[in-house]
Amino acid sequence: MGLDLVYINGQTPLDEDEKEALLIPTIASREELDEFEQHNIEEAMQWVLSRPLTAKTILTEKFICNLHQRMYGDVWAWAGKFRKTGKNLGIDKWQIPTALKILCDDTYYWIQNKTFTADETALRFKHRIVSIHCFANGNGRHSRLMADVIIGKVYKMPLFSWGTDDLVHEGKARSNYLQAVRAADKGDFEQLLRFARS
C-alpha cells in the first residue's frame, strides 16, 4: 500500500495488517492521515456531545466501541473493534473485554459513591482505558474524548481544555501531557488534573 508512518514519543505503531485496513487509499503521508482522522473525530465529537447520555449508557463496551468507530470509522476498517495484536503498551489482547468491564464497573461505583472529585473520576477512567489499550490506534484521543463525555454528560461540567494545544504532534504540550500521564502511572494524578484544566 505504501503508507509510511513516522511515530513520535508515546504513539502506538501500527503493524502491516492494521495499515492495510486504511479505507482511503489516496492517503500517502502522516499529515494527510492526521487531517482525515481529525475531520472524522470532529464529527464524532459533534455526535456525542449533542445527545443526552447517562453514566449507565456511557460506561459500556458498546458505547466505548461505538465512539471509537465514530472517531475513526471513515478512515480505518478496524475502528471500534478491539485490537488483535500485541502493542508496546497495554494488556494482552484477550484480557481487554474483562478489564474494560471492570473499569466501567469501578467508574460507575466511583460516580455513585462520590469516591473522587468529578475531574479525578473522569481522568482516572481516561488513564485506565489507555493502559488497557483497547484499540489498534487512537487510544489517547479516544480516552480524552471519553473523559470529556464523562465530565460533560455525567457531571454537567465544562469539558477539559487538555492544555488547549495540539497533543498529536511533538511539542511542549505533548511533552507536558506525557509527563502528567507518567506521574498518573505511579498513582499521582495531580499533574494530569492540572494539565487537563490548563
Q: What is the mean pLDDT of the chain?
A: 91
CATH number 1.10.3290.10 is the correct assignment for the domain at 16-196: yes
Residue 138 CA: distances (Å) to CA of 10, 36, 178, 187? 11, 13, 15, 23
Q: Please tell me the predicted confidence (pLDDT) of residue 164.
A: 67
**Spatial CA neighbour of 10 closest among 92, 89, 125, 93:** 89
39 noted as active-site residue: no
User: 111-121, pLDDT tens digit by residue?
Assistant: 999 999 999 99
Section 17-44 average pLDDT: 91
The residue ranges of every structural domain in the chain are 16-196
User: 151-175, pLDDT tens digit by residue?
Assistant: 999 999 999 999 766 777 678 888 8
- CA 118 to the chain's CA centroid: 18
The 3-state DSSP class for residue 133 equals coil
Residue 56 grid cell? 449507565
Binned at pLDDT 50, 70 and 90, residue 60 comes out as very high
Q: Which residues of 59-80 are buried (b: 16+ CB within 10 A; e: fewer)?
A: beeebbbbbbbbbbbbbbebbb
Q: Please tell me the predicted confidence (pLDDT) of residue 5.
A: 58
Task: Give the type of residue at 174.
Answer: R
Q: Which of 39, 68, 127, 133 is catalytic?
A: 133
> Residue 195 pLDDT > 60, yes or no?
yes
Determine how many CB atoms are found less than 10 A away from the CB of residue 42: 11
Separation of alpha carbons 67 and 62, rounded Å: 9
Q: pTM to 2 decimals?
A: 0.92
